[in-house]
């Protein structure tokens, strides 16, 4: 199963949970924890359910641990500005701070 399929299935499953009353105006965070390869946020964003009941969908995936720091890829599935905004977040090894880099 591809990352795209996993993400879209998770969104659809949550939307079906309770429809507009459940999802309306809320932000959905999808935690991606499946080593099935690279995915393209813009492609996934273009294939979001129509209508999308959530106000926003963010995808968070652990990229790995580098020099004792946890590194996450975080993406908002919104291509309204041309590309889905993507960020690299590094959490200090002492958990006393973090650094955010805008990737796309």
- pLDDT tens, 8-51? 999 999 999 989 999 999 999 999 887 767 889 999 999 999 99
CA distance 87 to 74: 5
User: Which residue from 35, 26, 81 is spatially nearest to 58, judged by alpha carbons?
Assistant: 26
- Place 1 in a pLDDT band, splitting at 50, 70 and 90: confident
b/e map 40-75, b = 16+ CB within 10 Å: ebeebbeebeeebbbeebbbebeeeeeeebbbbbbb
Per the structure, the count of domains in the chain is 1
3-state secondary structure labels for all residues of 50-78: CCCCCCEEEEEEEEEEECCEEEEEEEECC
Residues 48-72 pLDDT 10s = 999 999 999 999 999 999 999 999 9
Domain residues for the domain of 50 are 3-102
């Amino acid at each position: 199963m591809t990352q795209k399929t996993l993400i879209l299935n998770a969104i659809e499953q949550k939307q079906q949970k309770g429809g507009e009353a459940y999802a309306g105006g809320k932000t959905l965070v999808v935690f991606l924890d499946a080593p099935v390869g690279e995915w393209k946020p813009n492609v996934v964003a273009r294939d979001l359910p129509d209508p999308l009941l959530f106000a926003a969908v963010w995808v968070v995936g652990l990229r790995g641990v580098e020099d004792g720091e946890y590194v996450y890829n975080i993406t908002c599935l919104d291509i309204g500005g041309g590309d889905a905004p993507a960020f690299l977040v590094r959490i200090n090894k002492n958990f006393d701070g973090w650094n955010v880099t805008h990737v796309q």
